[in-house]
């Protein structure tokens, strides 16, 4: 039996401010994008949930911002699992080299 895994998507309206209207689970990007356009207009869009935002936050030119009163700050980016694995693998390789250098320096 094949399982479908839904992902969270950010639904942004087509207003000038690009306001986050909803965060919802969908099976794929196309389904999320169709729902965004149907609910919020032809220029609305969906984006995979990779930024720590909530309803009322904004998106300008592909960059998400958290909104607190009149203040906007860039939203925190949430790395994907594969990005985290890649980063940890790189860090592990660097530490392995550093450890080998330390051990090599001690035995000389």
Divide the 108 residues of the chain into consecutive groups of 10 and give the mean pLDDT of each group. 76 91 94 96 94 95 92 93 90 91 71
Burial of 75 (0-12, 13-18, 19+ CB in 10 A): buried
Domain around 84: 79-108
Predicted local distance difference test score (pLDDT) of residue 81? 82
C-alpha to C-alpha distance for 37 and 42, rounded to whole angstroms: 5
Give the pTM: 0.72
Looking at the fold, whether 86 and 65 belong to one and the same domain comes out as no
Same domain, residue pair 71 and 40: yes
Nearest of 9, 22, 7 to residue 56 by alpha carbon = 22
Residues 90 and 107 in one domain: yes
Alpha helices, DSSP H, located in 1-108: 29-40, 81-107
Give pLDDT, residue 25: 95
Specify whether 56 is located in the same domain as 88.
no
Q: Are residues 13 and 31 in the same domain?
A: yes
Residues 10 and 51 in one domain: yes
- Residue 4: per-residue pLDDT: 63
> Are 7 and 35 part of one and the same domain?
yes
Residues 16, 50, single domain; the answer is: yes
Both 70 and 96 in one domain: the answer is no
Q: How many domains does the chain have?
A: 2
For residues 11 and 52, membership in a common domain is answered with yes
Shared-domain flag, residues 73 and 89: no
pLDDT at 46 (0 to 100) = 96
> Is residue 16 domain-shared with residue 1, that is, in the same domain?
yes
């Amino acid at each position: 039996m094949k399982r479908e895994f839904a992902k969270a998507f950010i639904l942004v309206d087509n207003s000038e401010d690009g306001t986050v209207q909803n965060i919802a689970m969908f099976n794929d990007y196309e389904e999320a994008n169709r729902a965004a356009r149907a609910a919020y207009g032809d220029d609305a869009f969906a984006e995979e949930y990779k930024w720590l935002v909530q309803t009322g936050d904004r998106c300008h030119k592909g960059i998400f911002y958290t909104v607190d009163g009149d203040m906007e700050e860039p939203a925190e980016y949430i790395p994907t699992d594969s990005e985290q694995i890649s980063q940890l693998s790189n860090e592990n390789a660097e530490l392995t080299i550093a450890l080998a250098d330390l051990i090599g320096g001690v035995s000389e």
